[in-house]
Structure 1
Amino acid sequence: MIEILSESGLATVQDLGRSGALRWGVGTAGAMDGMALACGNLLLGNEEGAAAIEAQVFPFEVRFETDGAFAITGADCSATLDGDPLPPWSAAWAVAGAVLRLGLPAPGRWRGARAYLCVEGGIDVPAVLGSRSTQLRGAIGGFEGRALRRGDRMRSAPPASGAPGVAEVGVVPPVIALPLDVDGHIAVRVLPAAEYDRFKPASHRAFWSEPWKVTPHSDRYGFRLAGPALETLAPLEMRSHGIVPGVIQVPPGGQPIVQMCDAQPSGGYPKIGTVIEADLWRLGQAPIGGSVRFVETAWDDALAALDGNRRWLDEARRLLDLHRTRSTAR
């Protein structure tokens, strides 16, 4: 069991998301950086989608009330356990009473904005519509459907039968293993969307060539970006229609909004592009005040990128299992 010690600033319980519920008006939720959550679980021998805590305001502290293994991935937050430093992207063991502290993310465009605390067995909260993720709008899933507060206590589920166990080794983060940046900015690949041709040529050029700043009005629902105003060829009114995380809508003011994990399932603004599924984790780690660049891609390349993510996770699993086997043989 763990106890939240800090006013957590919208820390929530998340897994890899709630698929199949958009038709009922329920968003996907899930980790903003699914690669980090999956890797943290692999370090512990959990299923990739086991529930964990996503922290996005720091410092963040928890106390372990029982002995247990945990892993920290995502943003490099100079984590300490009872004051002793912990390496990022690795697993460790805590004894009852130990306090884990996540400090401010280290500076640098690749250091990230969100950290993940995974525990052996996963955070034990009820599954709602097939997921343990917190959907704040509607108070669905997670810990009582809300953000975590000081004094909240959560149990970990028992490790699955036949789980490989904890790997006492670190992992190279995917942002290093799978780099993608443009002129020093975080970059994400984008498919032109349905209304792309309804925008002016100058807006097309600006969309692909200019950096876009992540404004303070950004959150898990959507990233509101600041940059050159994007203009349509003519005024465009649309009925509300289905949208998914990654869709880039452009409201009348011309400043794009990227729908993120907690996005509502419908919207009526014209869509200029869609961040590919394989790169949503990159965007999810963009800090407030940071900037991103959009890189045009094609459907086949988007599928290949998703396959590349899968290969990275499979290789991480293979190497961690190999390390466990060698450690047992000693």
Structure 2
Amino acid sequence: MIEVLSSTALSTVQDLGRTGSLRWGVGTAGAMDPLALAAGNLLLGNDANAAAVEVPVFPFAVRFAEDCAFALTGADCAARLDDQSLLPWWAHQARAGQVLTLGPPQPAGTWRASRAYLCLAGGVDVPEVLGSRSTQLRGAFGGHDGRALRQGDLLRAAAPGTSTCPTGFGLVPPALALPLQVDGAAAMRVLPAAEYLSYQEASRAAFWDGEWKITPQSDRYGYRLAGETLTPIRSTEMRSHGIVPGVIQVPPGGQPIIQMRDAQPSGGYPKFGTVIEADLWRLGQAPIGSRVRFIETTWDDAVAALHELQGWLDEVRRLAGLHRWQRGRN
């Protein structure tokens, strides 16, 4: 069990998301960086979909009320367990009474992530709602009482105690293992969407050629971008239709909005493009105020990118299993 010591807002319990409920008007929720959450769980021998704590605002601190193995992934937050410095993307063992503190994210070369994930042995033990333990803030359900964590909250680990899984080892972060940048800016691959050709050719070119700033009006619901105005060939009125995380919509002002994990399941703005599923983790880690670039891609390349990502996770699973096997022999 851990006790939240910070009064910092917006930290939530998330797993890989709530699927199969869009037809009922229920969004997916889930980790903004699903790759970091899955990898942290695999380091601990958890199911990749086990719930963890997503931390987007720092500093953040918890006290371990009992012995528990844990893993830290996502942003490098100069973590400390009491007075001991901890490595990111690493599995650790805590003793009862120790305090884990996460500071502001540190850059790793030209990459700077914005969210950290605290995974616990067995996963964070909260009830499933509609097949997921993710917090749905808009509906106020799932996670820990359907809300962001507060000072004094207690979260139980499903498998506390001294870990039978090996700790003291970790991974090369995917930002280093699977880099993707354009002119030093984090980049995401995008598939043109249904209304893409409804925009002027100059606007389509500007979308690919320019940098886009993630504005302060961005959150888990959507990232609002600032850059070259996207101008349609003619004004279009549309009925609301289904949308999913990653869809890039363009409101009348011409500044795009990218739907994120807490997005509503329908909307009426034209769809300019869609960030491919394999790159949603990159977008989810892009800090507010940072600038990003977009790369036009094809369906086949998007599928290949997803296979590459799955291959990276399979290697994480293999290495974690190898460490467990070696520990068992010793």
TM-score scaled by length of structure 1: 0.97
- Specify the alignment match of 1:6 in structure 2: 6
SS for the counterpart of 1:283 is helix
Instruction: Find out whether 1:120 has 2:131 as its counterpart.
Output: no
Quick check: 312-321 or 49-58, which moved more? Answer: 312-321
SS for the counterpart of 1:186 is strand
Is the 1:80–1:100 contact (alpha carbons within 8 Å) kept by the matching residues of 2? yes
Pairwise CA distance, 1:308: 0.6
Instruction: Find out whether 1:307 has 2:307 as its counterpart.
Output: yes
Q: How does 1:1-330 map to 2 (within 5 A)?
A: 1-107=1-107, 109-158=110-159, 165-330=165-330
Displacement over 6 Å in runs of 4+: none
Q: Which runs of 5+ in 1 are unaligned?
A: none
Pairwise CA distance, 1:302: 0.5
Is the 2:76–2:107 contact (alpha carbons within 8 Å) kept by the matching residues of 1? no
* CA–CA distance in structure 2, aligned partners of residues 253 and 138 of structure 1: 28
Could you tell me which amino acid in structure 1 is paired with residue 157 of structure 2? S
Pairwise CA distance, 1:321: 1.2
Pairwise CA distance, 1:164: 7.3
Render the CA deviation track for 1:227-253: whole Å, top value 9, x for unaligned.
Answer: 010010011111111000000000111
Pairwise CA distance, 1:158: 3.1
Q: Which runs of 5+ in 2 are unaligned?
A: none
SS for the counterpart of 1:133 is coil
Is the 1:167–1:324 contact (alpha carbons within 8 Å) kept by the matching residues of 2? no
Render the CA deviation track for 1:14-67: whole Å, top value 9, x for unaligned.
Answer: 000000010010000000000000010011110001000000000000000011
Pairwise CA distance, 1:299: 0.4
Count of paired positions: 327
* CA–CA distance in structure 2, aligned partners of residues 45 and 168 of structure 1: 13
Render the CA deviation track for 1:187-229: whole Å, top value 9, x for unaligned.
Answer: 0000000000000001001100001001111100000010010
* CA–CA distance in structure 2, aligned partners of residues 118 and 320 of structure 1: 15
Could you tell me which amino acid in structure 2 is paired with residue 310 of structure 1? Q
* CA–CA distance in structure 2, aligned partners of residues 168 and 267 of structure 1: 46
* CA–CA distance in structure 1, aligned partners of residues 319 and 164 of structure 2: 12
Is the 2:93–2:167 contact (alpha carbons within 8 Å) kept by the matching residues of 1? no
* CA–CA distance in structure 2, aligned partners of residues 176 and 221 of structure 1: 27
TM-score scaled by length of structure 2: 0.97
Identity of aligned residues (%): 67
Render the CA deviation track for 1:279-319: whole Å, top value 9, x for unaligned.
Answer: 00000000011111110000011011111111000011111
SS for the counterpart of 1:3 is strand
Could you tell me which amino acid in structure 1 is paired with residue 144 of structure 2? F
Pairwise CA distance, 1:165: 2.1
Is the 1:69–1:94 contact (alpha carbons within 8 Å) kept by the matching residues of 2? yes
Pairwise CA distance, 1:110: 1.6
* CA–CA distance in structure 1, aligned partners of residues 159 and 54 of structure 2: 20
Cα 1:55–1:218 change in 2 (3 A) is: same
Is the 1:167–1:320 contact (alpha carbons within 8 Å) kept by the matching residues of 2? no
